[in-house]
């Protein structure tokens, strides 16, 4: 699924900035018939069983600025502010001047940080001619599996997703559909690899699965092809897929193409495999690859015959090998921070650890945990330190997640002072000699200030393992 240059977790914050922060803080085929314009080809499909759970998502929240343009009977164009989606309204599509809008929204079909979904307006309008919609995809991220990309639109009334005939242009990195009405549009990967755990320590194992986002016709409206994670289905980090359980596609050749470890197939149709990290870690990651053949076709008006059958496809999944990590626990979810991990002293003022990562479906996480040095606590060393703000021996923890700062203390307006969280942070080991492994942990009540005097709180846990 990922190449080495587009890892699940990507480093963002250099060590100098981090310690500045410490100091400041202290098998179904598609029926393509739809009102999608030219290029449609009939194809086989599987009727949705009455008890099948279709893929339904809530309405997505806006994430950026809306752009608008008034387009009349002569036609016109409009592109999003980021340039990643554009519409081309042909002459005669509307009978009078009409306001068209493009609004970036959250990904709800596939929660990937490397792409954006868009809501197109107006809704509840049937155009006289189909409007061309072109979406860009990041070729560095998606080129390996571009043949598995397709665009879907969300039914505003039901929240279900409709798979659309999609023209793929690998040279330009674009996906194009034609539609006579507007809603929310998002492109997705029909096949992906999923690891139960994508971050392993030495000797640990994880199951890796081939996931398939199926499509099938709607019983009440056979002209529409809906997305459905078929049974047995599973959800992994926001991806709602089902595990391939039949020999369509054919799955073969599980390999480790980069890094250490072993891989072994664990079911008859080869759709799951077990990866095991080596007993001693010398690499930061391993990349597992599997080959798919006899891939169910995707309707593509651009290719001869109107069907993009893919032929052979390679899926890849990167497994991070945790030589250095900080684990953050929030609301029952655990996240591994593995980018730009640091541990050490900032002059004679503080010592601590920190790191940053971008995580799919979450965004950037920044973590810092520091202890203030000074009288009575002049040197960095292992031990338990109470939370405190500004005094020697006091610990300060800051976690930025979902673009919110959560800190081990808050501003008490009545007392006109900063009050620390209760509890302590435990530096189980500390040192500066190469070969030393920094370890520690804490669980505390973290506070987010919603205004100058108002706050909200939640429990956050940290643990870390940082070889020097």
Interval 149-198: pLDDT, tens: 899 999 888 888 888 889 999 999 999 999 999 999 999 888 888 888 88
Cβ count within 10 A of residue 304: 6
CB 316 within 8 A of CB 144: yes
Query: Quick one: pLDDT at residue 113?
Result: 60
Q: Flag whether pLDDT at 41 surpasses 50.
A: no
The residue among 354 and 30 whose pLDDT is bigger is 354
Q: Between 19 and 349, name the one with better pLDDT.
A: 349
**Residues 144-153: tens digit of each pLDDT:** 778 888 999 9
The residue among 227 and 93 whose pLDDT is bigger is 93
pLDDT for the residue 21: 30
Residue 10 DSSP code = B
- Residue 336's pLDDT band, with cuts at 50, 70 and 90, is confident
| Separation of alpha carbons 378 and 348, rounded Å | 8
Q: Which residues pair with 273 in a beta bridge?
A: 208, 265
**Between 117 and 380, the higher pLDDT residue:** 117
pLDDT score of 34 more than 80:
no
DSSP states along 345-398: EETTTEEEEEEEEEETTTEEEEEEEEEE-BTTB-S--SEEEEB-SSSTT-EEEE
DSSP string, 167-185: EEETTTTEEEEEESS--EE
- Determine the Cα–Cα distance for residues 380 and 348; give it in Å rounded to an integer: 9
pLDDT at 24: 29
Per-residue pLDDT at 86 exceeds 70: yes
> What is the spatial distance between Cα 408 and Cα 462, in angstroms, rounded to a whole number?
12
C-alpha to C-alpha distance for 356 and 367, rounded to whole angstroms: 6
pTM for the full predicted model: 0.59
Average the pLDDT over each of 186-200, 231-245, 305-319, 366-380 and give the range with the smallest value.
Answer: 231-245
pLDDT at residue 224 is higher than 80: no
With 50 as the cut, is the pLDDT of residue 236 above it?
no
pLDDT score for 169 = 95
**Nearest residue to 464 via CA among 424, 433, 427, 421:** 427
* Mean confidence (pLDDT) of the chain: 79
Most confident of the ranges 34-43, 54-63, 138-147, 401-410: 401-410
Task: State how far Cα 393 lies from the chain centre.
Answer: 38
- Give the mean pLDDT of 44-48: 35
d(CA 462, CA 367): 9
- pLDDT of 360 reads 66
Residue 221 has pLDDT above 90, yes or no: no
Task: Enter the DSSP assignment of 56.
Answer: B
**Residue 87, pLDDT above cutoff 80:** yes
Edge to edge, what strands does the sheet with 184-189 contain?
67-71, 98-105, 117-121, 184-189, 149-154, 161-163, 221-228, 214-218
> Of residues 193 and 14, which shows the higher confidence score?
193
Q: Sorting pLDDT into bands at 50, 70 and 90, what band is 46?
A: very low
Q: Given pLDDT bands bounded at 50, 70 and 90, which one contains residue 17?
A: very low
Sheet holding 85-89, edge to edge: 76-79, 85-89, 131-136, 174-179, 167-169
Q: Strands 312-321, 199-200: parallel, antiparallel or unpaired by DSSP?
A: parallel
pLDDT at 119 over 70: yes
pLDDT given for residue 216 in this prediction = 57
pLDDT at 53: 59
Does 38 score more than 60 pLDDT? no
Q: Tokens 């990309």 map to which residue? A: 149
CB 386 within 8 A of CB 394: yes
3-state secondary structure of 230: coil
Q: Which residue has the higher pLDDT, 95 or 371?
A: 95
Pairing of strands 307-308, 298-299: antiparallel
| pLDDT tens per residue across span 437-468 | 899 999 999 999 888 888 888 889 999 988 88
What is the longest distance spanned by two Cα atoms in the chain? 80
Q: What angle do CA 448, 450, 453 make, to 5 degrees?
A: 100
């Amino acid at each position: 699924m990922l190449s080495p240059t587009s890892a699940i977790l990507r480093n963002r914050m250099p060590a100098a900035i981090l310690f500045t922060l410490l100091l400041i803080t202290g098998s179904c085929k598609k029926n393509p018939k739809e009102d999608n314009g030219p290029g449609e080809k009939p194809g086989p499909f599987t009727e949705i069983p009455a008890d099948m759970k279709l893929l339904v998502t809530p309405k997505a929240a806006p994430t950026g600025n809306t752009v608008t343009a008034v387009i009349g009977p002569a036609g016109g164009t409009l592109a999003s502010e980021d340039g990643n989606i554009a519409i081309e309204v042909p002459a005669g599509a509307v009978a009078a001047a009409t306001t068209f809008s493009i609004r970036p929204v959250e990904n709800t079909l596939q929660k990937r940080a490397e792409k954006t979904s868009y809501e197109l307006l107006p809704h509840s309008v049937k155009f006289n001619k189909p409007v061309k919609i072109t979406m860009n995809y990041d070729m560095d991220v998606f080129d390996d599996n571009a043949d598995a990309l397709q665009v879907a639109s969300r039914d505003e009334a039901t929240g279900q997703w409709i798979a659309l005939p999609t023209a793929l242009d690998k040279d330009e990195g674009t996906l194009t559909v034609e539609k006579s009405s507007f809603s929310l549009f998002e492109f997705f990967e029909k096949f992906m690899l999923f690891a139960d755990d994508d971050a392993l320590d030495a000797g640990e194992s994880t199951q890796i699965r081939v996931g398939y986002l199926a499509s099938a016709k709607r019983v009440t409206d056979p002209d529409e092809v809906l997305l459905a994670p078929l049974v047995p289905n599973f959800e992994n980090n926001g991806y709602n897929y089902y595990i391939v359980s039949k020999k369509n596609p054919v799955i073969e050749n599980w390999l480790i193409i980069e890094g250490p470890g072993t891989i072994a197939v664990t079911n008859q149709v080869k759709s799951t495999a077990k990866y095991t990290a080596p007993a001693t870690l010398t690499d930061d990651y391993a990349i597992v690859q599997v080959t798919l053949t006899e891939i169910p076709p995707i309707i593509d008006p651009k290719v001869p015959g109107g069907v993009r059958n893919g032929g052979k496809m390679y899926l890849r999944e990167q497994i991070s090998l945790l030589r250095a990590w900080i684990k953050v626990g929030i609301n029952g979810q655990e996240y591994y921070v593995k980018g730009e991990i640091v541990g050490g002293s900032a002059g004679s003022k503080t010592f601590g650890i920190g790191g940053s990562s971008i995580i799919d479906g979450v965004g950037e996480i920044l973590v810092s945990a520091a202890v203030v040095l000074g009288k009575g606590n002049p040197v960095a060393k292992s031990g338990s330190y109470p939370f405190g703000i500004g005094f020697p021996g006091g610990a300060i923890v800051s976690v930025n997640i979902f673009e919110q700062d959560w800190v081990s203390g808050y501003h008490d307006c009545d007392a006109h002072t900063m009050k620390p969280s209760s509890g302590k942070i435990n530096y189980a080991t500390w040192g500066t000699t190469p070969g030393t492994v920094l370890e520690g942990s804490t669980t505390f009540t973290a506070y987010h200030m919603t205004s100058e005097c108002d706050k909200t709180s939640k429990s956050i846990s940290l643990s870390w393992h940082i070889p020097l």
